[in-house]
Each structure stands twice: as C-alpha cells, then as structure tokens.
C-alpha cells in the first residue's frame, strides 16, 4: 500500500496545512486508537507527550478527542523528549506512545510520531492499517466505553533517573564543566538535571521555551551557539540537543564541534575496549572516512537509507547494537530502544572520563573527508538513472577519485530534487566534482 501521510518518522508538516490540522489529527487519533485496540489485552491506553511548540496545545487536544472516541485511554506527560516517551511507554506497559513534535524543524511545523509498546517505531503494517482507516468516518464507541485522560505524575523525574542509569556506576562527572543546549525544546527541564546530578557543573542555554523559539538559533541544528557558550564559560565540553532531544552534537573547550560520525567513532572505540561491538550501521550519508576507520578496527559496517528508523531496522536485522547518522542520531541499543541525545552524550562523556582524553584526542585517528552536496531541481518522476550525461560525469568523477572518496546521487523524498554528494581528499576536489556532475543535468 502506498503511504499518503506517514513518512520515515510519522506524519509531519506545516501547522494549519494538510495534514497538520485539528480535524485530521483528531481523525488520526481515532484511526490509531481503533487499530491499537485490536488484539490487545484489557483496555487499550497510550502515552502522549509533546515538545514545546505552541501548536502542541491545539494538536494535543485533537489527538485526545480522537483516541477517546475510539475507546482508548490517554496518559499525558506534557513536554518531554521523544525518547522519554519511548521509554515510559515500555515502562508503564502501555499499548503505544505518541509524540507531538517536528524534531529539528522550525516552530511553524509539527508532527505526530508513534512508538509501539516495546518502545520502537511502529511497524509498517500498523502504519498502513492506520492510514486505511483514515478514509472512514469517526464513529464513537458507546458512552460507557469512551476513553479517559490521566496526567502522568513525575514523568520527567522517572526519565531523568533512567538516563542516569545508563552511565557507568563507577564513574561520575565531577570536575567537568558542561554547557548544555536544549534548543528551547523538550529537554529544557530534563537534560541539565541529568548531568548536574551526575556531578558536573552545568551551564544551560536554550532552556527558556516560549512556544515559538524552539530550534531558533540554538540546538543541534545551530551548534555554533553551544560552541560559543563553551568558550565564554570556559567549559570543558558542550552538549547540544535538538527540539525533541533525539539528536546530539558536541563541542570541546576550543569550540570545535563534533558531528554524529565523530561521536559514533568515540562510542565504538570505547565499547571495543570491552569487546562489545559485533557491527555498526550508518547511512548513505555516513562519511567514507568512518567506514574506512571501522575497517581498520575490524568492525563490520553497513549502510542503511537516510533516517534513524532505517538504521534501527538494519541493527535489528543484523543483531547489532550500535549505529547512527552524521546529523547526530546515535543508537546504542544496549542503553535504549531508540536514539536519545541525552543518553548518547552520557556514553561519550563516559568514554572521556574513562580514557582521561579529550574529544580531539579520541578522534585524532579519524579525519573526515570534505563533503560537498548540491541539490539539483528536476521534474517530478525524472529518470535520473537513465540519464547518459549524468552517468558519464559520474563515471569520470569515480575514475578520478579511485578509492580516495565516493559519490552519492539520490532523489529527495520530499521535493523534486536530485541530491548530488561527493566526498574527496580536498574540499576543492569535492566541490569541483560535485559541480561537474550537477552541470551534466542542465
């Protein structure tokens, strides 16, 4: 079945435009409730969280109405990181978890993400079943079977304790001064407490959400804010999360930022000292230098499609524990069922404390290749794989690169754009070859 609404991470869009309208979201809650109510034991119940967008108030009410109409109870947490909802859904033994968030997008956007009872993204067949019901009218269950709403007490505190439990008990963060940037998002009242309670001196930024400032010049999408704050405060490290706190970018005392590939490299090398790595999953965008580094370490490496959902699927297929994206989604399945920026930061901090080394020292043997991305607008349905000029330009670039770089050409999943990416030994070479490939499409 072709999906109309669900993408790689739930349903997302501009608030007020289809499908992110109160009417649709209520219908989505009803359809999801009907599907989730099938085959379960006892009365179905879902956990509902959100980030700090102003539209969350409106959409939360719409979702609750839909679930109640389907006879599903709702346990409401208020603003809480997406990975916290995944954890609490599992801990509270609920039927599913739902998060209102558009992650790293601006406040004008919002979305609906679903988690299964075990804290994983919903399987494709469940999402397809929900979509199939969206074309049917809402028919309320009998009044005595309508769903009820409950406030989850101490949800933030429970999640904070869970995060802390993933940090080695024999270690602490005493003596470290950390800048924690919460992007004015969902982690504003959780992440700083986690690091402080483990002993760090914490300087918080991006912790004053007002409904419209989420991801606004702060957070993982704008790591320069964290890096500047680190230098201003004389801190040892910076931790930057995105709006729903599932991404992580870090910086060192010198203000240098470290992306997901570099942080995953630190994590893998730390785990290798304990012999715990059977394989690593990246994406099509993972830097070629990371792949070469895994080969040097003797660790199997495979690429999934772009999206943490596909990284997770690959890990589950292979029975591996670790993976990630260069955007900052890191997966450590020995700690959590989904990507979690706070927990990922704790794993990197554990590596720093355990080794006594800086991030620069821990990544000294990983030199990422310069990357150049060019987006070329094409007509919808453009058959780029049969384009002779593109094939010739790509072949010429591949001959020049040899084994010192790589080329990636892929269509965008959201707009009529062909993405041309080249990694090479120098920024000049990457830019020149990417431009020659892009020009072949003109």
Residues serving a catalytic function are 103
Buried b (16+ CB within 10 A) or exposed e, 149-176: eeebeebbebbbebbbebbeeeeebeeb
Nearest to 369 by CA among 258, 286, 250: 286
Residues 22 and 63: their CA atoms lie apart, in Å, by: 8
Q: What are 201's strand-pairing partners?
A: 177
432: enclosing H helix or E strand:
helix 427-439
Nearest to 393 by CA among 430, 436, 357: 436
Contact 329, 320 (CB under 8 A): no
Token code pair at residue 188: 């504003």
Q: Given the structure tokens 């500047």, which residue do they identify? A: 228
Burial of residue 61 (CB within 10 Å: 0-12, 13-18, 19+) is middle
Residue 107 falls in which region: left (phi positive, over 0), alpha (psi -120 to 50) or beta: alpha
Contact 147, 68 (CB under 8 A): yes
Residues 402 and 380: their CA atoms lie apart, in Å, by: 32
- C-alpha to C-alpha distances, 32 to 19, 119, 138, 145, nearest whole angstrom: 15, 16, 12, 16
Residues 21 and 11: their CA atoms lie apart, in Å, by: 11
Contact 392, 439 (CB under 8 A): no
- Rounded to 5°, the CA angle 437-403-300 comes to 115
Helices (H), 237-375: 260-272, 288-297, 308-318, 341-355, 359-362
> Which residues neighbour 59 within 8 Å (Cβ) at sequence distance 6 or greater?
15, 20, 22, 25, 50, 100, 110, 112
């Amino acid at each position: 079945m072709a999906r109309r609404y669900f993408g790689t991470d739930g349903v997302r869009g501009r608030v007020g435009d289809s499908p992110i309208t109160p009417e649709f979201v209520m219908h989505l809650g009803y359809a999801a409730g009907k599907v989730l109510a099938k085959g379960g034991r006892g009365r179905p119940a879902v956990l509902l969280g959100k980030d700090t967008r102003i539209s969350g108030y409106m959409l939360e009410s719409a979702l609750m109405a839909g679930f109640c109409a389907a006879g599903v109870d709702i346990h409401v947490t208020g603003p809480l990181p997406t990975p916290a909802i995944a954890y609490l859904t599992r801990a509270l033994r609920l039927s599913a978890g739902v998060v209102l968030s558009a992650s790293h997008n601006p406040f004008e956007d919002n979305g609906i993400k679903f988690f299964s009872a075990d804290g994983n993204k919903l399987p494709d067949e469940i999402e397809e079943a929900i979509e199939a019901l969206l074309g049917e009218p809402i028919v309320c269950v009998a009044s005595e079977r309508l769903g009820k709403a409950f406030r989850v007490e101490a949800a933030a505190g429970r999640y904070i304790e869970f995060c802390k439990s993933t940090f080695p008990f024999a270690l602490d963060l005493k003596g470290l001064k950390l800048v924690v940037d919460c992007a004015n998002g969902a982690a504003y009242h959780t992440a700083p407490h986690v690091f402080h309670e483990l002993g760090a001196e914490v300087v918080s930024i991006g912790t004053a959400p007002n409904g419209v400032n989420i991801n606004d010049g702060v957070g993982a999408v704008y790591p320069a804010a964290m890096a500047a704050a680190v230098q201003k405060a004389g801190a040892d490290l910076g931790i930057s999360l995105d709006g729903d706190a599932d991404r992580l970018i870090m910086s060192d005392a010198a203000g240098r930022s470290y992306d997901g590939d570099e942080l995953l490299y630190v994590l893998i090398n730390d785990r290798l000292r304990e012999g715990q790595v059977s394989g690593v999953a990246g994406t099509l965008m993972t830097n070629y230098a990371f792949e070469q580094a895994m080969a040097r370490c003797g660790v199997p490496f495979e690429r999934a499609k772009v999206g943490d959902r596909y990284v997770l699927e690959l890990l589950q297929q292979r029975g591996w524990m670790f993976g990630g994206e260069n955007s900052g989604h890191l997966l450590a399945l020995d700690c959590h069922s989904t990507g979690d920026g706070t927990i990922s930061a704790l794993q990197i901090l554990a590596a720093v404390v355990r080794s006594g080394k800086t991030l620069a020292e821990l990544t000294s043997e990983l030199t990422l290749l310069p990357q150049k991305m060019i987006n070329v607008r094409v007509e919808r349905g453009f058959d780029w794989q049969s384009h002779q000029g593109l094939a010739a330009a790509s072949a010429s670039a591949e001959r020049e690169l040899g084994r010192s770089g790589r080329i990636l050409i892929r269509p965008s999943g959201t707009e009529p754009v062909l993405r041309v990416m080249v990694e090479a030994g120098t920024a000049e070479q990457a830019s020149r070859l990417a431009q020659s490939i892009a020009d072949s499409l003109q």
